[in-house]
Amino acid sequence: MDIATGEFLGFLNLTWQAVAMLVIGGVLVWLGIAKKVEPVLLLPIGFGCILANIPLGGAAEAGGFLAVLREAGIHTEIFPLLIFIGIGAMIDFEPFLQRPYTILLGAAAQFGIFATFLLAYLLGDGWLHVLDFSLQDAASIGIIGSADGPTSIYVATTLQSKYTAAIVVAAYSYMAMVPIIQPPIIKAMCSKEERALKMPSVAGTISQRTKILFPIITVLVVGLLAPKATPLIGCLMFGNLLRECGVVERLSLTAQNELANIVTILLGITVGGMMAGTEFLRPETILVFILGIVAFSLDTVAGVLLGKLMCALSGRKVNPMIGACGISAFPMSSRVVQKLGLEANPHNHLLMHAAGANVAGQIASVVAGGVMLMLVPMFI
Amino acid sequence: MLNALWIVLLGMAIVFAVLGILLLVMVLLSKVVKPRDKRGKKG
């Protein structure tokens, strides 16, 4: 036989990077199954990571099925957009429509994206040159602060960042960690008296006509003012229109279930397949994860600060904590605020107010992603 | 570096402007479209 043993026995070709990534993939699978941390995503991502790092397996190499999925779904930006149709069909925007002012909290909570972008760029090509972060990489890292997986994938892919895999894993991991990241910041910024502040309930319901007009108007306003956000906001609002119009229940249910589930499986395993050891294990990856936490934290700080301003201007009718829900990590962020409100005052139910800010944050993060895509190419 | 600062300033300004306009449109919409009174409908 001419073929050397090392050419067909995978374990003889194991490198330390491959071993490390197999362990990381295993940890992601363990987190998903044993700790129930975003299992819907971390399980496929972890498994994809294992598949991609088996030597000689070829799953993530040219022609391999993970490489084909990456080409077809990530590079074309199809997967995040399809996911957004499902998300749009799942979201009830009524809490936001009852409190439209919460959109400003969503806007404020995007500050972390831009501040983190600046920080990443200063560490990279912008000033210190200690890390290999170009303007596009910095913008893609900043977008982790959108607290929105599909937006992170869309922006990082469109800007062709070298760190797309790390950015996506960080975005989804930190969304699951919102109950750990946000409470200390909120408690540090809001006194117990502020946390106990009850908000008046909102009178009246939203008509179905308003719910139907809302996605159409949102697409027109956002699309005409920030056109780069059109694919994202368009898919999100299309899904929502399917939900609210009341005449295509089958399509709405398909978008919420089959479509979202199938694309989640494909997206997760493909993202995992992008975690090849030689590309993933570099100092910059660790920095991407650190900057991701910075982005989430600054989002929370900015949201709460605007919440405090609204609290003062409204004569204490707005609990400043709901500002923290301006990040689009829905519904984790709302639950955090509800829990903190009840801890401070057992009769303080903030869930629907917080949900209003939370779904507003979903729209705001998409707009911020579109704005980033619009501005970065102008300054390259 | 100046470019990055411009992106931050313009970025936040545009986000607030777009969402502010959306807020105005939604407030206007809520004034124009009222929930229908269902009292007159047959049970």
- ipTM of model: 0.91
Answer whether 0.90 is exceeded by the pTM.
yes
- The mean pLDDT of chain A is 93
Candidate from B1, B12, B22 with C-beta closest to A218: B22
Mean predicted confidence (pLDDT) in A336-354: 95
Residue A53 forms part of a structural domain: no
Contact A120, A104 (CB under 8 A): no
**Residue B31 pLDDT more than 70?**
yes
Question: What pLDDT does residue B35 have?
Answer: 64
User: How far is the alpha carbon of A52 from chain B, nearest alpha carbon, in Å?
Assistant: 35
Residues A27-40: tens digit of each pLDDT: 999 999 998 888 88
Number of residues in chain A: 380
Q: How many CB pairs under 8 A join A and B?
A: 107
What's the total number of domains in chain A?
Answer: 1
Mean predicted confidence (pLDDT) in A95-108: 95
Residue A268 forms part of a structural domain: yes
Residue of chain B nearest A126, judged by CA positions: B1
Stretch among A20-24, A283-287, A303-307, B32-36 having the lowest mean pLDDT? B32-36
Contact list in A for residue B26 (CB cut-off 8 A) is 97, 100, 103, 214, 217
Number of residues in chain B: 43
**At a CB cut-off of 8 Å and minimum separation 6, what does B19 contact?**
A103, A104, A106, A107, A363, A364, A367
Of the CA atoms within 13 Å of residue B21, those in its CB half-sphere come to: 16
Mean predicted confidence (pLDDT) in A371-376: 96
> How many beta carbons lie within 10 A of that of residue A131, not counting itself?
19
**Residue A224 pLDDT more than 50?**
yes
- State how far the alpha carbon of B7 is from the alpha carbons of A248, A271, A367, A370, in Å: 41, 28, 14, 13
Q: Name the pLDDT band for A5 (thresholds 50, 70, 90).
A: low
Mean predicted confidence (pLDDT) in A213-235: 96
Question: What pLDDT does residue A2 have?
Answer: 52
Residue A60 forms part of a structural domain: no
Residue of B1, B12, B21, B34 to mutate, interface with A, max A Cβ within 10 Å: B12
- State how far the alpha carbon of A283 is from the alpha carbons of A26, A46, A118, A138, in Å: 21, 20, 19, 15
Asked if B8 and A118 come within 8 Å (Cβ–Cβ), the reply is yes
Mean predicted confidence (pLDDT) in A228-250: 97
The domain in which residue A188 lies consists of: 84-379
Residue A38 forms part of a structural domain: no
Residue of chain A nearest B11, judged by CA positions: A371
Instruction: Kindly calculate the radius of gyration of chain B based on its CA atoms and give it in whole angstroms.
Output: 20
Between residues 14 and 43 of chain B, which touch chain A (CB distance below 8 Å)? 14-23, 25-27, 29-30, 33-36
User: How far is the alpha carbon of B43 from chain A, nearest alpha carbon, in Å?
Assistant: 19
Candidates A338, A319, A283, A275; CA nearest to A105 is: A319
Q: Which long-range contacts (CB under 8 A, 24 or more apart) does A74-77 make?
A: A74/A153, A74/A157, A74/A164, A74/A267, A74/A270, A74/A271, A74/A274, A75/A157, A77/A153, A77/A154, A77/A157, A77/A158, A77/A231
User: How far is the alpha carbon of A268 from chain B, nearest alpha carbon, in Å?
Assistant: 29
Mean predicted confidence (pLDDT) in A127-155: 94
Residues A158-189: tens digit of each pLDDT: 999 999 889 988 887 788 789 889 999 999 99
Encoded amino acid at A193, one letter = E
Candidates A358, A351, A371; CA nearest to A299 is: A358
Residues A32-71: tens digit of each pLDDT: 999 888 888 889 999 999 999 999 988 988 999 999 999 9
Burial class (CB in 10 A: 0-12, 13-18, 19+), A65: middle
Residue of chain A nearest B4, judged by CA positions: A118
Residue holding tokens 């790092």?
A53
- The mean pLDDT of chain B is 84
In angstroms, how far is the first alpha carbon of chain A from the final one? Answer: 55
**Residue A118 pLDDT more than 50?**
yes
Residues belonging to chain A with any Cβ–Cβ distance to chain B shorter than 8 Å? 97, 100-101, 103-104, 106-107, 110-111, 113-115, 117-118, 121-122, 126-127, 135, 138-139, 204-207, 209-210, 213-214, 217-218, 221-222, 225-226, 363-364, 367-368, 371-372, 374-376, 379
Question: What pLDDT does residue A202 have?
Answer: 83
Residue of chain A nearest B7, judged by CA positions: A375
Question: What pLDDT does residue B41 have?
Answer: 46
Q: Name the pLDDT band for A4 (thresholds 50, 70, 90).
A: low
Contact A163, A141 (CB under 8 A): yes
Candidates A310, A341, A304; CA nearest to A323 is: A304
Asked if A371 and B16 come within 8 Å (Cβ–Cβ), the reply is no
Residue A68 forms part of a structural domain: no
Q: Name the pLDDT band for A349 (thresholds 50, 70, 90).
A: very high
Contact A172, A42 (CB under 8 A): yes
φ and ψ at residue A182, rounded to 5 degrees: -75, -45
- DSSP designation for A228: G
Candidate from A106, A110, A122 with C-beta closest to B1: A122
**At a CB cut-off of 8 Å and minimum separation 6, what does B22 contact?**
A103, A217, A218, A221, A222, A363
Mean predicted confidence (pLDDT) in A66-78: 93
Question: What pLDDT does residue A205 have?
Answer: 83
Contact A163, A144 (CB under 8 A): no
Question: What pLDDT does residue A41 have?
Answer: 85
Task: Tokens for B19, please give them.
Answer: 């969402």
